[in-house]
């Protein structure tokens, strides 16, 4: 299984903290966000390679970091060569960039947004996701607050756990189940990603691809319990730091 960590954003909403430092390497509890993620990936026995896709501005930061950490697999930094928000590839564009430049064929993939902070058991997530093969699965989290839900991509789910609809930051959320930026895509779904991009679909936010995938094939939601934050601004960053202090 290949793991792709999406870390190519410019995080302008967190300036000045991220003006010269990539958001996934900001410290929480004295450790970079990315290390908390990698610690959760570490127990997954199927993982044999981990890729961090980033941009030209921050590639050097990740290369230095990757040389310092010690995990069962080498962490490979992939520079997508973009330099600003104006020419960025977008999350799905970056995913495709890694697959093509690293010659990754039809393999199971775990894709994780690099600004995620969570304490979910990823081994359990993978085991549950594999039960839905050949279809993909995403992690979802109930934020339990309709006002808060306005900030996230939300999903409607039927009785079997299949996603029936995606709602991108709706003004009046009918549900509070948010997509967590954790995606398991089986090798059988690789051809669908190629088809999505070849058709000229939006390569930016993962929600666009996941919504398309739910319509074209099947996509399942796996609700996770515990703590989760999408670190997008100073408030959520400080909240994550407080969580560590309280645990």
The predicted-structure confidence for 188-247, as pLDDT tens digits, reads as follows 988 888 888 888 887 777 778 888 888 888 999 999 988 888 888 888 888 888 887 655
- Position 152 in a domain: no
Strand, helix or coil for residue 7: coil
- Position 157 in a domain: no
Strand, helix or coil for residue 135: coil
pLDDT for the residue 236? 87
CB 177 within 8 A of CB 163: no
- Strands 31-32 and 27-28 turn out to be antiparallel
Q: Where are the beta strands (DSSP E) in 45-135?
A: 49-54, 75-79, 109-113, 116-118
pLDDT for the residue 245? 65
pLDDT, one tens digit per residue, over 111-143 is 999 999 998 899 999 999 999 999 999 999 999
Give residue 118's domain range: 2-138+181-220+229-246
pLDDT for the residue 196? 86
- Position 158 in a domain: no
pLDDT for the residue 214? 87
Residue 40, domain CATH: 3.90.550.10
- Position 76 in a domain: yes
| Domains contained in the chain, number | 1
- Position 71 in a domain: yes
- Position 241 in a domain: yes
Residue with tokens 């979802």: 140
- Position 119 in a domain: yes
Q: For residue 213, is it left (φ>0), alpha (ψ between -120 and 50) or beta?
A: alpha
Q: Which residues lie below 8 Å from residue 198, measured CB to CB, with a gap of 6+?
A: none
Residue 65 in this model has a pLDDT that exceeds 60: yes
Report DSSP state, residue 171.
Answer: S
- Position 32 in a domain: yes
pLDDT for the residue 119? 87
pTM here? 0.93
- Strands 136-142 and 177-185 turn out to be antiparallel
- Give the pLDDT mean for 22-27: 95
Among residues 184, 73, 178, the alpha carbon closest in space to that of 127 is found at 184
| Tokens representing residue 183 in the block | 């995606």
Residue 129 Cα distances to 35, 145, 187, angstroms: 23, 26, 13
pLDDT for the residue 132? 94
pLDDT, one tens digit per residue, over 148-190 is 898 888 999 999 999 998 888 888 999 999 998 899 999 998 8
H or E segment to which residue 70 belongs: none
Report DSSP state, residue 82.
Answer: -
């Amino acid at each position: 299984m290949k793991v792709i960590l999406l870390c190519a954003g410019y995080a302008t909403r967190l300036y000045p903290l991220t003006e010269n430092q990539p958001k996934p390497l900001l410290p929480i509890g004295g450790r970079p966000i990315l290390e908390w993620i990698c610690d959760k990936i570490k127990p997954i026995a199927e993982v044999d390679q981990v890729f961090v896709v980033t941009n030209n501005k921050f590639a050097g930061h990740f290369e230095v970091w990757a040389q310092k950490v010690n995990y069962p697999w080498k962490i490979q930094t992939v520079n997508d060569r973009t330099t600003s928000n104006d020419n960025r590839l977008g999350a799905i564009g970056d995913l495709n960039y890694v697959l093509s430049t690293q010659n990754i064929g039809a393999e199971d993939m775990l894709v994780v947004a690099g600004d995620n902070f969570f304490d979910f058991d990823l081994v359990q997530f993978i085991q549950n996701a594999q039960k839905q093969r050949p279809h993909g699965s995403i992690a979802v989290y109930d934020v339990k607050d309709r006002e808060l839900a306005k900030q996230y991509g939300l999903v409607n789910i039927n009785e079997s756990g299949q996603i029936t609809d995606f709602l991108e930051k709706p003004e009046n959320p009918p549900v509070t189940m948010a997509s967590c930026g954790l995606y398991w895509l089986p090798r059988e779904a690789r051809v669908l990603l190629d088809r999505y991009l070849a058709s000229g679909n939006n390569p930016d936010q993962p929600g666009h691809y996941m919504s398309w995938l739910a319509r074209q094939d099947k996509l399942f939601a796996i609700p996770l319990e515990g703590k989760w934050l999408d670190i997008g601004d100073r408030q959520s960053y400080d909240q994550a730091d407080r969580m560590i202090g309280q645990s």
